[in-house]
Amino acid sequence: MSPGPATAPPAADAEPDRRLIGDALRYLRAVSDYIAEPPYDTAGQAAIDHIAGELTTLARGCERCRDDGDALARHYLNDKQAEHERSLPAWRCRCFAPYKLVIHQPGTEISRHEFYYLGENPPAGALCAGASQPASDEDCPHDSCAGILFPPCTLGSLAGQVRWWRGKVRDSGRCPACGVLFADALAGPAAR
């Protein structure tokens, strides 16, 4: 008896199995709490449909995730985390050392500012001396600064933090490059 016809692996752009997407959505709901539990209103269902579309696109291009919904969901979450980190603006100390600044619980009794080294793909040059903490790249008058002030890089390791209690500094780390307290660098004018 001869063996049956060999089946080729699915093409890279083949439509992923609906079960794969369903498994990934279940993971995002049950394990990571990325998606709320049903029932969904119209807007909630639209968001789920959008995520399902993103998962489908991701599964088409990823050989490792084609057969494992949990792996697909973790890949999706990692991509979203990196996207968020890349969107954070860079901040510079008085010594011009660049960091990514993450603010937790702003406007509450207890808040925290965390300063991270720049991760993957850091900017090649010093940050613009004309803007120490702009809200967007439009706030800087230099066209060339968008890639430096808002580098498309992820967070590196934690360099230090400032903890606040009722609007007052409770404790502050120091800039590893110059030794200035991060709290002082936040409060005072930047070096020119």
- Over residues 43-81, the pLDDT tens digits come to 889 999 999 999 999 999 988 888 899 999 999 999 888
Q: Model confidence at 40, in pLDDT bands (50, 70, 90)?
A: confident
Q: What is the pLDDT of residues 144-159, one digit of tens each?
A: 454 544 455 778 889 9
Q: How far is CA 102 from the centre of its chain?
A: 11
Phi, psi of 147 (to 5 degrees): -75, -20
Percent of the chain with pLDDT strictly greater than 70:
73
Neighbours of 81 (CB within 10 A): 12
Higher-pLDDT residue of 4, 59: 59
Q: N- to C-terminal Cα distance for the chain?
A: 83
Burial 5-19 (b: 16+ CB within 10 A, else e): eeeeeeeeeeebeee
Q: What is the pLDDT of residues 124-136, one digit of tens each?
A: 444 444 334 444 4
Sheet with 110-118, strands from edge to edge, namely: 90-92, 98-104, 110-118, 155-165, 168-172
pLDDT of amino acid 122: 52
Is the alpha carbon torsion for 44, 48, 50, 54 positive or negative? positive
Q: pLDDT at residue 15 above 50?
A: yes
Residue with tokens 């200035």: 180
Whole-Å CA distances, 174 to 49, 156, 159, 178 = 45, 17, 8, 8
Give the whole-angstrom CA distance, residue 96 versus residue 112.
22
